[in-house]
Amino acid sequence: MMEEQPVSTILTTLHATDADSTISEYQLIDGDSDNGSEFFEINNVTGLIRTKSRIDYETVKLIKFNVSVTDTGVPQLTSTAQIFVNVININDNSPQFNETEYQLNVNENAVKGTSIGFVYAHDADEGEFGIIKYSLVGEQSQHFEINENTGEIFVSNASALDRERQAEIMFSVVAIDHGLPIDERRSTTTNVIVKVWDENDETPSFRQHSYYASIAENLSLNPPATILQVQADDKDEDEAGTVKYTILSGNDDNSFMLDANSGILYPATSLMGRKGQYKLRVEARDGIGSGPHTDFAEIIIDVIEVNQHRPMFIMPALSNATVEIQENLAIKDYLVLTVKAEDADNGDNGKISYHLQVNNENVQETETFEINSISGELRLKRELNKKQQSRFEIVLVARDHGVPTNFQQLRFLTILIVDNNEGNPEFPDGSNPYRFYVTENGERDERIGKIQAIAHDSGREKESHAIYYYILLGNVNGSFYIDKITGDVFTNKSLDREMADMYTLYILASKKSDLHISESEIFDLSVENLERNSTVAKVWIQVHDINDCAPEFEQEIYYAGVNKKSRQGELIAIINATDRDFGVNASIEYLIAASYLYKFGAVKSTGNIVPSPFSISQDGRLTTNTYMSEYNQDRFELEIQAKEVQPPERITVAKVFIWIYEPEQLVRVILSRPPSEVQSERDEILVELTNVTKKHIIIDDIRYHVDNVGRMRMDWTDLLFHAVDIKTKTIVPIYEILTDIDAKYDFLKDYYSGFAIENVVPAYIPNLNSEFDIALAAIVALLIVLFVGAISFIVLCCCLKNWVISIPSETRRKDALIKKQIIDDLNTTENPLWIEQKLKIYEEQELTMKIFAEPSEFQLPIAENSSIRQHNGITQNLLGMETPPTPLIDTYNGSDAGGDLDTNYATILNYSNNNNNNSNISSSSSNHHNNSALANNSRNTNNTINLIDADYQTLRNTRVPPLFEFNGSTFQVQQNDQTSDYIGELM
């Protein structure tokens, strides 16, 4: 039965028969695992089975139940049948997405084929009806494609992904099942919203590339006045679209500053006296100032000179001053006062002329007074009489010549005609200025000292209680006050010598008890005039120091590097600490409290090294205390103490991190600027290198540049540094640093230009030529040794060549007799066996002697055509062995006086007993140089040489041959004595 059929759909009708009765009723019965009653009902009479609820294949696939039938007989009998209903699946469920709407993200400029996410739908149907295919619909779906099986969405049109043009793209995904027929397939649609994430692909653009402003030289500096604002737009968002502004050039004297965020241009310093035109080149860079995209604009600023300042009176100093003239001096042309004013403007704007003002008009004279417009001298035009008029009030004018507008300043002056003996209180010259002392950190209202003025009245000098005292100038921050009646000076608060160690007070003595001096009047006072005024006391107050300040290091942490080749006493760094106290209270001593060693790559210290490998002098010079080679690639963490010498001996601690490096680990920055300028910009260069490499940069040296040929350039600089990995605390290899710097060249090139950086290279390159020279020198030395050895060997051989073994004559005679006896024994013995034993040592040997002689001392006379018995060209030896034919004696041609020497050979021949003939070979003695011959019985020749009688001796009384040698079994020995014999011994 198909699923999802309407209620009361007929399943089947059961028919039962009974042979002896009729059917009473049908009943539906569920077993333990049956579920038929939930879905079906049966007509008890007809057996018709209908559905009573909806059947869902996805919920139940098989329904089983039992049906019983009962007859009408008595007793009633019952029969049962089991019914199985297979539910047939139909496509009754539509696909359902797991989200009602999908939010996906993709980077703009993503390439084609980039996956942006998945959509997923499920279908409750099973089998083919539950298989889902995905597709995209919508106007903007053409920019994407979807895997119809997995639901993964990809970019198909990368050019459409532009966040600046469209930040969100929306389309729909359709999920359709695989039901049949096709027109009955079910589908579901959901929306997909793709948010295009921004990438930094847009270049900032100035709204205008040329800006102009005209400003006055008196432009406000505090707060700074806005000159103009540059603006650049970047369509990117967030950090990529955040633009920072920078002045690249034209601001050499730092007259202007540009707000990096707003682009507002302000004056950085006073422009007074800087009239002229400025051209600034500004840059807008995206990525919060570190991005790759920039734009440039030009700012032209004209600074116009203006009349900015009003004339300021120096004399009279007070805005309502009083001048007293003794009556006897008030005559015509009497110089009452020299008016003096100054103007901070330049040129005509600062030129001042002096006038008197009457009825708001500037005039040069009145009935009583006249003033010089240039010098400012105020004089009387007539004689004055106190009884007629004792008081005159005039208005002084100081006016500049500013264009287009001018400024003027007024002063009210009261002139009193007084009696000759009447005067104001004055301070005695002997006590003026006054010197007082006070200790810092004291309590308020501490009395410091007292001043006293004297009034001259009626010709008598006396102290007057009617004198009052007022502080005019020098009371910084209200630190003091004075009892206006007694003249006692008190502290108004606790003083700090480190803030101010000296105060100078100007105190006025006056007869007026209620004198009021306004702030503007105090502002106009001139110190120069006050010091010349006898009614004003100058009080010097010096603050004495107490030890209330602890030492302070310039830096809390120092970083340094040490060459592994460093020796004892080499400077590492200068540690500077100061104490704001004065004198002995500011004395500091330096101590190395701890020297913690960290081995290469270690994160934990091996402990404090005692004694420390470093030392520090009392002027803060940190130096090595030992050789550093044993600590190569390690690092130290030093705790440096700055301790007061005076109680309470406060201590301040700074840390110094030191890396031990090899020279080959340094990087050299070559700058086309002298070292003094590079030193002044050291910190800025350090920051830029740190930002680029993301490593901790430690500058090891700044020195004059040395080029490749060893020449020093005083106008160039070599800056040496090494880099430390922030995480591992180890020195970074050079190639990593150079790779990072090269990778950011486009970003750094502007800084290269600004800092005049010419190149960044390894500091030390291994000298291959030097190594080659050493190897070559070793080879040359070896060759020399071999050559000397060869020469020595040759010399030794030459020496051995001339070395002669001398055999005493007595020994030779004995040897000859012994040999003769042996031969005689051989001749007289008839037993052949005995002869064989005697001559056993000579078996299988060819006995040959090589004879050397000089023709001048040796000549063997032999008969012509003498020969040795031969058998078929083969010579027989004593044992009857055959040897190749060898000449026994070579003849010499010459006389006693000399001749050519030939080498002669003698061979022991066979002694034949069978023929009863003896073949004898004899040689002449040294006393007989007669004819010699060989005798042979078979040939009956005369002149024979008997070998046996000669006792194996050859050619006596010969000269020393040039060398000795072994030849076969013959050994020839050289003699020193020219008349000695030569003996050939059998080996």
Q: How many residues does the chain have?
A: 987
Residue 380: phi and psi, rounded to 5, are: -85, 135
Q: Show the tokens assigned to 186.
A: 């079910």
572-598 tens-digit pLDDT = 999 999 988 888 888 999 999 999 999
Report yes or no on whether pTM surpasses 0.75: no
What's the whole-number mean pLDDT along residues 741-751? 77
Strand, coil or helix: 682: helix
d(CA 90, CA 526): 110
pLDDT at residue 465, as a whole number: 52
pLDDT at residue 596, as a whole number: 93
Distances (CA, A) of 437 to 101, 472, 716: 85, 20, 54
User: Could you tell me how far CA 510 lies from the centroid of its own chain?
Assistant: 71
pLDDT at residue 316, as a whole number: 85
Cis peptide before 404 (omega within 30 of 0): yes
CB 333 within 8 A of CB 346: no
Q: Show the tokens assigned to 253.
A: 């004297």
Backbone CA torsion sign across 197, 203, 208, 214: positive
Q: Show the tokens assigned to 149.
A: 């099986």
pLDDT at 984 over 70: no
Cβ within 8 Å of residue 904, ≥6 positions away: 850, 851, 853, 860, 887, 889, 890, 954, 955
pLDDT at 83 over 70: yes
- In the numeric block, the tokens 């680029």 are attached to 692
pLDDT at 159 over 90: no
Q: β-strand 757-762 against 635-644: which pairing, if any?
A: unpaired
Q: What is the DSSP string of 160-185?
A: G--TTT-SEEEEEEEEEE--SSGGG-
pLDDT at residue 162, as a whole number: 83
pLDDT at residue 433, as a whole number: 86
pLDDT at residue 429, as a whole number: 67
pLDDT at 711 over 70: yes
Q: What is the DSSP string of 208-277?
A: -SEEEEEEETT--BTTBPP-EE--EE-SS-HHHH--EEEEEES-TT--EEE-TTT-EEEESS--TT--EE
Ramachandran class of 390: left when φ > 0, alpha when ψ lies in -120 to 50, beta otherwise: alpha
182-186, 319-323, 466-470, range with greatest mean pLDDT: 466-470
d(CA 301, CA 640): 52
Burial of 377 (0-12, 13-18, 19+ CB in 10 A): middle
Strand, coil or helix: 916: coil
Runs of H (alpha helix) within 829-951: 832-838
Q: Which helix (H) or strand (E) holds 503?
A: strand 502-510
pLDDT at residue 418, as a whole number: 75
CB 394 within 8 A of CB 369: yes
d(CA 93, CA 540): 104
pLDDT at residue 327, as a whole number: 80
DSSP code at position 842? G
d(CA 178, CA 184): 9
- In the numeric block, the tokens 């009497």 are attached to 334
d(CA 335, CA 323): 11
Report the mean per-residue pLDDT for the chain: 79
Q: Which helix (H) or strand (E) holds 824?
A: helix 809-828
CB 178 within 8 A of CB 133: yes
CB 163 within 8 A of CB 198: yes
d(CA 470, CA 657): 58
- The pLDDT-based confidence of 946 (bands split at 50, 70, 90) is very low
Helix, strand, coil shares of the chain, percent, nearest 5, are 15, 35, 45
Strand, coil or helix: 284: strand
Q: Show the tokens assigned to 390.
A: 């004792």
CB 922 within 8 A of CB 932: yes
Backbone CA torsion sign across 695, 700, 701, 702: positive
pLDDT at 827 over 50: yes
Cis peptide before 611 (omega within 30 of 0): yes
d(CA 441, CA 124): 89
Strand, coil or helix: 647: coil
- The pLDDT-based confidence of 693 (bands split at 50, 70, 90) is confident
Buried b (16+ CB within 10 A) or exposed e, 686-696: bebbeebbebb
Burial of 561 (0-12, 13-18, 19+ CB in 10 A): buried
Runs of H (alpha helix) within 212-252: 238-241
Runs of H (alpha helix) within 434-558: 519-523, 527-532
What's the whole-number mean pLDDT along residues 939-948? 38
Q: What angle do CA 925, 930, 934 make, to 5 degrees?
A: 85
pLDDT at 945 over 80: no
Strand, coil or helix: 635: strand
- In the numeric block, the tokens 């011994």 are attached to 985
Burial of 969 (0-12, 13-18, 19+ CB in 10 A): middle
- Name beta bridge partners: 276: 303
Backbone CA torsion sign across 762, 766, 767, 769: negative
- The pLDDT-based confidence of 881 (bands split at 50, 70, 90) is very low
- The pLDDT-based confidence of 867 (bands split at 50, 70, 90) is very low
pLDDT at residue 980, as a whole number: 40
Q: What percentage of the chain has pLDDT greater than the value 90?
A: 29
pLDDT at 423 over 70: no
pLDDT at residue 220, as a whole number: 85
CB 247 within 8 A of CB 265: no
786-826 tens-digit pLDDT = 999 999 989 888 888 766 555 566 666 776 777 666 666 65
pLDDT at residue 769, as a whole number: 47
Burial of 746 (0-12, 13-18, 19+ CB in 10 A): exposed
CB 284 within 8 A of CB 252: no
17-46 tens-digit pLDDT = 888 888 889 998 877 777 788 899 999 989
pLDDT at residue 404, as a whole number: 67
pLDDT at residue 394, as a whole number: 92
User: Could you tell me how far CA 627 lies from the centroid of its own chain?
Assistant: 24
Q: Show the tokens assigned to 335.
A: 């110089």
d(CA 118, CA 425): 100
